[in-house]
Structure formats: structure tokens, C-alpha cells
């Protein structure tokens, strides 16, 4: 069979070549996105308030005019990838110029707005995060338990954060920016927090999500438990309903009506998750002062593999990418509902309820 003078076999091979090259060079997409953020392009377009031409963009970026062509090519790929839209500006036919505007994706990168995912996008390509990928082949052939992160940096991720305050900050800001997305749905979660007077956010980082929850449910009392180096500079939390506590979730979790884990389970192996969940279970069935045993719940916010929304290609691919990120940087993994259920049963819980809440994430309530 011939098409345009080429055999179908050849057409398929050339398509496969493009497929290989696209994946081999995918880092260009990550780096171009990071560069646009570093240059402040989304904010400049936002401030401009109408479609911006390349010469105006170059001038607003205060770049040398001879960089115009480079900026145009950067914008062309980012527009192709859905970060900007371009429109023909209404000038005389022969002078028509492209004007660039924001899309839903670049609006989420604005540094002046919340949610702002720029810190996450920069953290994802930080050299510390990239180094383990360069040793991954080696790591596979080594007969040892440690992670590729450890092979690259000589220490597990959390220890590395402890001894590298600058990267610790990049990591925590990246996670906090991810948590800002919760702002879009936290008010709709009334049912989840009904009857909850006290909440511990385990591994709660900078307290971003705790603050969002308190904003929507101000009568709650919230404790953010995280490693000492994460919460050391946040003793009071700035609100009488929010306190930060340095500690180790493997040793002890303070008792509360609800114990929340956001983006925690996927950091750890099954054995480690069972240990953490058992500590969480102890914390929600602790004796009250009056001798009455009160049973609360564990709230997990994380990714569930194979959920309905996985029909969307971007979401499925991102969940599988998260899974490998967890394998390379930590000892963890993403899990299917059945794999979660097994963890809950092994940790002594009796039932659970999964609510898919937003894109990549689900909310799982787990009961003792």
C-alpha cells in the first residue's frame, strides 16, 4: 500500500520516530516552562491586560531587542503546548501581528494570584530533583534498598532537606503551592469536616492547607505536625486555632477528631504506610478525659490509580509520572483503590469512603 509515494510501513516508522524524539526531548517542555516563569512572562501578560505582541513583551521583559526572535520561538512552543493563546491583532492586513494571551494553565502560574503553581513547576526541575534520574540506570542494577535520590545525594530526601535549608525552602514552597489548589474546593467539603472539632494535618509542611481549612471552618482547632526542620520557624502559627508541632509521625501523632494526610501515603512503602496509619488510628480512638472512647476518622488526600477521571490522558499520565517520582525520590508509590483498601485493613480500619475531588486527587475518609 502506498500513500504519497511512501509505504504504510515507512509512514508508521516515521511516526514512531517522532514519538521517540518527542519523549526523548520532553525535558525541553519542562525547561521552557520554567524559563517562562523565571522571566515572569505570565505576570507580564496579565499586567498588560490585552493581547501582547512580541516587541511589547520583549520591552516589558527588559530584554535586549535582538532576543525578540528567541522570545517568539519560546512563545510559539508554549502556545502549542496550551500555556498561551495567540490571536491576530487588528491591524492592516499586511502588518497583522500575533498577540499573546493567558490560558487557564498560565493563569495558574501568576505569582500575584492564588492558586499559584509556579513554585511547584520550578521545584520539579530543581537540580536536586533531577540528579536522581541521571543515576537511575545504575540504581536498578545495584542490589540495595536505598532510593535513587540517596544514590545521587548520599542521604534520603527528608534528611537532605534537613541539612540543605535552601532546598528545604524550595521543596516546602513547591508543596505549599500545590496545596493552594485546595482553596478551590475546601468550602465544598463541609460534609467532611462536620462534627470535627480538632484536626491534625500530618506532614502538613508550611500549614498552607491548614490555613485554607481554617479560613472555611474557623471554629476548628488545627495542629500541623511535621519534621522539626520544617516547622522550626513557625511556633505559634499566627492564629490561636493553629499550632505547629515538630515531631515524627512514626513515633506519635497527637489525638484529634480527624487526622489528615495530604500527599503523604505515596511517599512511603506499604509497610511504612501501615505503621503511619496505625499511629493515625491510635490518635482518633484515644480515650477522652471523661473515659469515653471517641472514634474519629482519618482523611487522606492523594492520588488513586485507575479512578474514573483516568480516562483523561493528561491525568492518567501525570498519575503514572507521580508514581515514578515517588519511586525515585522516596520509597513510595501511587496506589489503586484495592491497594489502599489492603493498607486500611492491615492497619485495623473497618471501612472507607473515596470521593474523587479534583483532577489528580481523591479524598479518602477512613474509619476505625
CA 355 vs. chain centroid, Å, equals: 19
Does 175 contact ligand SAM by CB under 6 A? yes
Q: Is the peptide bond preceding residue 115 cis, with omega within 30 degrees of 0? A: yes
- The owner of cell 487526622 is 259
Which residues are known to be catalytic? 266
Does 205 contact ligand SAM by CB under 6 A? yes
- Compute the least distance from the CB of residue 202 to ligand SAM, in Å: 6
Alpha helix stretches (DSSP H) within the chain = 8-24, 27-39, 41-48, 54-60, 68-80, 104-107, 118-124, 127-134, 136-141, 148-153, 157-163, 165-180, 190-193, 208-216, 228-231, 270-284, 313-329, 337-346
Minimum CB distance to ligand SAM smaller for 98 or for 226: 226
> Which of 95, 74, 93 lies closest to 84, judged by CA?
74
Does 58 contact ligand SAM by CB under 6 A? no
Sequence-distant (6+) residues with CB within 8 A of 187 are: 216
Which range binds ligand SAM by CB under 6 A, 115-123, 142-150, 219-227, 289-297?
219-227
Where b means 16+ CB within 10 Å and e means fewer, 144-164 reads eeebbbbbbbeebbbebbeeb
For residue 105, what are the β-bridge partners?
A: none
Does 179 contact ligand SAM by CB under 6 A? yes
* Nearest-angstrom CA–CA distance, 84 and 86: 7
Count of residues of this chain found to bind ligand SAM when the rule CB under 6 A is applied: 18
Q: Which residue is nearest to ligand SAM (CB)?
A: 203
Which range binds ligand SAM by CB under 6 A, 30-38, 224-232, 318-326, 333-341?
224-232
Instruction: Return the residue of 42, 203, 332, 368 that touches ligand SAM, per CB under 6 A.
Output: 203
Which range binds ligand SAM by CB under 6 A, 14-22, 112-120, 133-141, 262-270?
262-270
Instruction: Return the residue of 248, 271, 287, 312 that touches ligand SAM, per CB under 6 A.
Output: 248
349-368 residues near ligand SAM, rule: CB under 6 A: none
- Compute the least distance from the CB of residue 139 to ligand SAM, in Å: 21
SS3 212: helix
Does 204 contact ligand SAM by CB under 6 A? yes
Does 302 contact ligand SAM by CB under 6 A? no
Instruction: Return the residue of 78, 129, 210, 249 that touches ligand SAM, per CB under 6 A.
Output: 249
- Compute the least distance from the CB of residue 171 to ligand SAM, in Å: 8
Does 150 contact ligand SAM by CB under 6 A? no
Structure letter (DSSP) for residue 89 = -
Which range binds ligand SAM by CB under 6 A, 97-105, 140-148, 226-234, 341-349?
226-234
Does 262 contact ligand SAM by CB under 6 A? yes
> Which of 245, 273, 296 lies closest to 342, judged by CA?
273
Minimum CB distance to ligand SAM smaller for 58 or for 175: 175
Pairing of strands 198-202, 84-88: unpaired
Give me the phi and psi of 204, to 5 degrees please: -80, 5
- Give me the residues that bind ligand SAM (CB under 6 A), please: 158, 175, 178-179, 203-205, 225-227, 230, 248-250, 262-264, 267
Amino acid at each position: 500500500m502506498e500513500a504519497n509515494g511512501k509505504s504504510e510501513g515507512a509512514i508508521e516508522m516515521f511516526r514512531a520516530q517522532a514519538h521517540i524524539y518527542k519523549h526523548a526531548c520532553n525535558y525541553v517542555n519542562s525547561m521552557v516552562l520554567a524559563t517562562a516563569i523565571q522571566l515572569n512572562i505570565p505576570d507580564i501578560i496579565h499586567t498588560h491586560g490585552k493581547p501582547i505582541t512580541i516587541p511589547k513583551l520583549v520591552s516589558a521583559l527588559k530584554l535586549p531587542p535582538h532576543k525578540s526572535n528567541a522570545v517568539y520561538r519560546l512563545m510559539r512552543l508554549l502556545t502549542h503546548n496550551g500555556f498561551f493563546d495567540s490571536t491576530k491583532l487588528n491591524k492592516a492586513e499586511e502588518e497583522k501581528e500575533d498577540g499573546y494571551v493567558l490560558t487557564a494553565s498560565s493563569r495558574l502560574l501568576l505569582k500575584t494570584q492564588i492558586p499559584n503553581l509556579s513554585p511547584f513547576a520550578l521545584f520539579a526541575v530543581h537540580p536536586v530533583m533531577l540528579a536522581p534520574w541521571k543515576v537511575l540506570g545504575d540504581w536498578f542494577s545495584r542490589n540495595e534498598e536505598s532510593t535513587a535520590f540517596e544514590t545521587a545525594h548520599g542521604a534520603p530526601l527528608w534528611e537532605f532537606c534537613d541539612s540543605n535549608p535552601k532546598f528545604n525552602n524550595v521543596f516546602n514552597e513547591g508543596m505549599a503551592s500545590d496545596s493552594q489548589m485546595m482553596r478551590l474546593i475546601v468550602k465544598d467539603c463541609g460534609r467532611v469536616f462536620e462534627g470535627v472539632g480538632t484536626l491534625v494535618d500530618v506532614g502538613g509542611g508550611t500549614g498552607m492547607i491548614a490555613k485554607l481549612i481554617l479560613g472555611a471552618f474557623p471554629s476548628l482547632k488545627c495542629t500541623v505536625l511535621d519534621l522539626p526542620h520544617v516547622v522550626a520557624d513557625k511556633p505559634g502559627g499566627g492564629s490561636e486555632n493553629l499550632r505547629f508541632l515538630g515531631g515524627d509521625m512514626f513515633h506519635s501523632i497527637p489525638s484529634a477528631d480527624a487526622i489528615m494526610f495530604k500527599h503523604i501515603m505515596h511517599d512511603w512503602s506499604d509497610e511504612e504506610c501501615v505503621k503511619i496509619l496505625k499511629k493515625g488510628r491510635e490518635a482518633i480512638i484515644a480515650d477522652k478525659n471523661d473515659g469515653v472512647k471517641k472514634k474519629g476518622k482519618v482523611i487522606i488526600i492523594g492520588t488513586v490509580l485507575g479512578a474514573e477521571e483516568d480516562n483523561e490522558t493528561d491525568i492518567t499520565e501525570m498519575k503514572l509520572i507521580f508514581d515514578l517520582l515517588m519511586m525515585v525520590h522516596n520509597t513510595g508509590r501511587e496506589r489503586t483503590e484495592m491497594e489502599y483498601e489492603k493498607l486500611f485493613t492491615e492497619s485495623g480500619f473497618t471501612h472507607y469512603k473515596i470521593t474523587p475531588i479534583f483532577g489528580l486527587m481523591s479524598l479518602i475518609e477512613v474509619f476505625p
